[in-house]
Chain A
Amino acid sequence: MEKGLTHYIWTHTRPQQLWILLVVALSMIPYFLSFDLPKQIVNGPIQGQGFEGEAARQLFMRIEFALPYFGDVVFFPGIELNRLQMLIALSLVFLALVVVNGLFKLYINTYKGRLGERLLRRIRFELVDRVLRFPPSQFKRIKGAEIASMIKDEVEPMGGFTGDAFVAPALLGGQAATALFFIFVQNIWLGMIAGLIVAVQAVLIPRMRRRLLVLGRERQLTARELAGRVSEIVEGINTIHAYDTSNFERADIAARLGRIFKIRYDLYQWKFLVKFINNFLASVTPFLFYSIGGYLALQGRLDIGQLVAVIAAYKDLPGPLKELIDWDQARQDVQVKYNQVVEQFKVDSLIDPALQKLSTEEAAPLAGALAVANLTLSDDSGAHTVEHISVQFPRGEYAAIIGGAAAGGDALAEAIGRSVWPESGRIALGDTDLFEIPESVTGRRITYVSSDAYFFYGSLSDNLLYGLKHAPMREPEYEDAHASFRKWEISEARMAGNPDHDIESDWIDYEAAGATGPEDLFAQVVAVLDSVYLTKDILELALRSSVDPLTHEELTTHIVKLRHTFREELDKAGLSNLVVPFEPDRYNIEATVGENLLFGTAIGEQLVGRAIGRNRYFRDVVGRSGLDRMLYEMGYEIAENAVELFAGLPPDHPFFQQLTFMTPDDIPMYQQLLQKLKGKDFDETTDDDKHRIIRLSFAYIEPRHRFGLLTDELMKTIVEVRREFHEGLPETLKGAIDRYDPHSYMASASLMDNVLFGRVSHRHADGPERVRTMVIALLSEPGLYNQVLSIGLEFNLGAGGRRLTQVQRQKLNLARALLRRSDYYIFNRPLPALDARTQEQICRNVLTLVRENNDKESSIIWVLTNTTLTDLFDRVLIFDKGRLVGDGKHAELADNATFRELVS
């Protein structure tokens, strides 16, 4: 990137800058005309100059020039107008000039704004582009949030400055020079005074501002560090909690904020001091004019008219001058910021852009074998992790690497995976150095997996297919309206030096996954998920997610049908009472009183949470049958029981987990409430108190809480009120409740709940577990299975994939790699979080899958965590202390000392 910001701006926006300068120059013509016009209006039609006599007329808009050789040329003969007509005509011209000036201003500002935004886009893109080309070691030194804050915030003012970079000094400088020149013409001495003050301002102020710039730079650095620290806190939150260091972090943040405050406060103090001096200098000039000019006038060396003209002209000088000084301030400010940012992004050994060139062509299979020659790698401290290793990995060979922790095998794998660069020696594919082959080859024909899986925010399937998105493979087809938008996007991207690849294209390289298109990709995905044992996890994710029946009509209708099958299965297994189904005219003993009453899920804000207690219709229905009184009495007893049981327990006592209808903090409140309500009749209590008591009854489940409060009469009344509630439901509430309907899918409930359509009995030990197994078995029927699985694949992984467990993340990481057809698979201890038995099974599955998918051409290099699996591989490499100490078939290694040590 260019060294100076001005240089950068000039390089990238030269034609536009020249154009806008031209436009500004043009705009000066109507601008000055509009200055002159008021004088003409006042002197002419209003005061009557040239309109002496009743019928006096003048020519309007006569355009006539005296040209050499041609003599007088009349371009427009003019129209004869009388005094009033002339007034109106000139006023209209004035109006027209106002409009023209306004339009010029509009055009110039818009143009400058656009220019600035384009440049901003260019800078930001260039910075991110550089991040993508940083060598791997660079990422050990930088903090993500600091880079982000530079790209997002610190370059922002550069966009604003771009438009004014050249226009402002030209315009403002011109104005100031004109005013100064005018003063000089009036009186040379006064001109010199004005010139002197301007010179003092021009020299002194920027000098004083130097300190401002230093402070500004400090402010920028501290703010950037703050961003870095905040993101560290977010990322390390578990460590902070685990070691009770939150107050250490608080102190650190407070100290940083204190430093930022001090810098900013210093900054303000200086800024206003500079402002004060600047203003003082500007106002001291008229003082000199009055005193010296007045003295000269008294002495008769200056006439009064000149003095007045000078003072009038001086009014126009400080404005542009001040703006010019401000502009200079802004220039230095963004220059500092620019240098700061460029400094951070100036990294030696950036990856050559040619290596990352986009390629839509299918990468041809690698020609030669992977050869490591005399390779030495070192870590950040300079210690060698691998020393002088030379080894060849022929095509089609499955090699295992074993060794103790940090024995060197993992470092070698990292180097082949290009996440570490060699210190000396080289890794070559055929005859070419690995680091000179474009990423479109190495990143497709070689698949590297390590244990630290990174996932991007998005769905599971987005992440699973991530390894296939190398290039826009199929351009989307746009309708007319969108097509023109796309054209605009392309031209705008080009003008800002951005690439114009369409993110809406289909980026998935189906061939690379062994498929021909979106249709048969799914089979590959399932095979891969099965081999890493992730399918069950994904099915369970699907069971817990809710599905929109509008977009998944086929699935949801199928699920509704499945309810019946599920009941049959239960009956067959003799477990009919494991799940109590919802029936419109029956009380469901395993569901809460609230669920029984509403017989649906409240989804509209009129009925959700506390709002239902205030809903007029609901209260009406419940009050009519006297149910409110019954529920009140029930709630009262629940409160009594809860208070009796839990009063006196500390709030963090584990028993509170069982108390589903209250929080520990509610206990004292209910204790008081019970005393207050003791002996009072239902009618005597306030609405608020009723609400608090009745609320408790809503969460009550008899088999779980076992207070013995649910009488047959109460159940009958609740079912009766349920019927009334749904029958008379007003239009406005129709959308606010998702009713339990045996024949339709409930959008607000999870897939699992939709299959069950009831509640799992609390009385069966391991009830939920058994039910889940049965439901998964049911959903595994062909046709349905894929649909359910694809619902699970829609699961959003959250930031960094944190919504998955570590085991799931490592499995997914491996699955993502296996989906790609590659010539070399490098597995660098991909599954350390799994137990040894599962690791072993997955390893076997993976070897089989790779063999099936890639015939005999693919090679595997697997850094194993233990030695039990070495017999599955063609060749075993043993590393110890950075050196290769054994290399051969599994059978030959029995007498290798290191191998024996590892085995024992």
Chain B
Amino acid sequence: MLLKDEVQMLRRVPLFSGVDPTKLKLLAFTSDRVHYAAGEILFRQGDNGDAAYVILTGRADILVEAPGGQIKVAEVENNSIVGEIAILCDVSRTATVKASTNLEALRISKEHFLKLLTDFPEMTIEIMRELAGRLSRTTMELTDERARARKPD
């Protein structure tokens, strides 16, 4: 796959849809193109976060370590970004990401990702929107859980 195809794919990622194509090309060029076979690990829960991954083709499972073993909490597929939380707020990885099929991804290093955010405010807004969406979803789920927990009494 060539740089220009990668740019096309990046444009389909909601996070990057508002960004100028030449900038996307730069992003693609400065990122590493990595390949994972099915079953290989992109990163593990608890590791230091040093990069975010944009999945170009393939699927991956998001797994969380629980006392009883790993629990699959979500699945991601092409045109999605994973691992951005750890590099945004300097915490260790909150989940393990494992390729479930053959997977092609762009690996954007932490330094480059943060630089992008300062250079392109439209991307930052997009990230904020995404995070706010997640927060409201989580809040909603939490409210539901609490409500359900209170009902019996």
Contact = CB atoms under 8 A, between A and B. Distances in A.
Contacts of B36: 765
A653 B35 contact: no
Interface string B16-48: 000000100110111011111000101000000
A706 interface: yes
Contacts of A486: none
B107 interface: yes
A763 B40 CA distance: 14
B115 A655 contact: yes
B34 A654 contact: no
Contacts of A181: none
B14 to A, nearest CB: 23
Contacts of B40: 765
A102 interface: no
B43 to A, nearest CB: 9
A707 B33 CA distance: 13
Given A645-B25, A646-B26, A654 B32 contact: no
B111 interface: yes
Nearest to B111: A654
Nearest to B25: A645
A658 B29 contact: yes
A649 B119 CA distance: 10
Contacts of A653: 115
A657 B36 CA distance: 24
A237 B102 CA distance: 49
B131 interface: no
A742 B107 CA distance: 34
A4 interface: no
Contacts of A654: 111-112, 115
Given A703-B33, A763-B35, A765-B42, A655 B2 contact: no
B26 A645 contact: yes
Given A655-B30, A658-B29, A706 B35 contact: no
Contacts of B112: 654-655
A708 B4 CA distance: 9
A644 B111 CA distance: 22
Contacts of A646: 26
B135 interface: no
Interface in A646-664: 646, 649, 653-655, 657-658
B42 A706 contact: no
Nearest to A574: B37
B93 to A, nearest CB: 15
A494 interface: no
A655 B115 CA distance: 9
A105 interface: no
Contacts of A708: 2-4
A765 B115 contact: no
Interface string A706-743: 11100000000000000000000000000000000000
B35 A645 contact: no
B6 interface: yes
B29 A705 contact: yes
A764 interface: yes
A59 to B, nearest CB: 104
B3 A644 contact: no
Contact of A658 (B1, B30, B35): B30
Given A645-B22, A654-B115, A655-B112, A763 B2 contact: no
A762 interface: yes
Interface residues of A, number: 19
A707 B4 CA distance: 8
Interface in A750-793: 762-765
A706 B1 contact: yes
A39 B8 CA distance: 109
B49 to A, nearest CB: 15
A182 to B, nearest CB: 90
B37 to A, nearest CB: 8
B25 to A, nearest CB: 6
Contacts of A645: 22, 25-26, 29
Contact of B34 (A655, A707, A763): A763
B142 to A, nearest CB: 35
B41 to A, nearest CB: 9
Contacts of A641: 3
Interface in A621-680: 641, 644-646, 649, 653-655, 657-658
Interface in B1-15: 1-4, 6
A392 B111 CA distance: 56
Contacts of A657: 30
Nearest to B4: A708
Contacts of A649: 26
Q: Pick from B4, B29, B36, B107 the residue with the most CB of A within 10 Å.
A: B29
A246 to B, nearest CB: 26
Interface in A23-64: none
Nearest to B43: A765
A603 B32 CA distance: 31
B2 A706 contact: yes
A706 B6 CA distance: 10
Interface string A686-705: 00000000000000000101
B102 to A, nearest CB: 12
Contacts of A705: 3, 29
Nearest to A703: B33
A705 B3 CA distance: 8
A657 B109 CA distance: 12
A658 B106 CA distance: 14
Nearest to B37: A574
Contacts of B4: 708
B33 A706 contact: yes
A770 to B, nearest CB: 11
A655 B109 CA distance: 10
Nearest to B29: A645
A707 B29 CA distance: 9
A859 to B, nearest CB: 42
Contacts of B1: 706
Which 8 A-B residue pairs are closest in the complex by CB-CB distance? Answer: A708-B2, A765-B34, A658-B30, A706-B3, A763-B35, A655-B30, A645-B26, A654-B111
30 contacts: A641-B3, A644-B22, A644-B25, A645-B25, A645-B29, A646-B26, A649-B26, A654-B111, A654-B112, A654-B115, A658-B30, A703-B33, A705-B29, A706-B1, A706-B6, A706-B28, A706-B29, A706-B33, A707-B2, A707-B3, A708-B2, A708-B3, A708-B4, A762-B32, A765-B32, A765-B35, A765-B36, A765-B40, A765-B42, A765-B107
Given A706-B2, A764-B34, 13 more contacts: A644-B25, A653-B115, A654-B112, A655-B26, A655-B29, A655-B112, A703-B33, A705-B3, A705-B29, A706-B28, A765-B34, A765-B35, A765-B40
Interface of B: 1-4, 6, 22, 25-26, 28-30, 32-36, 40, 42, 107, 111-112, 115
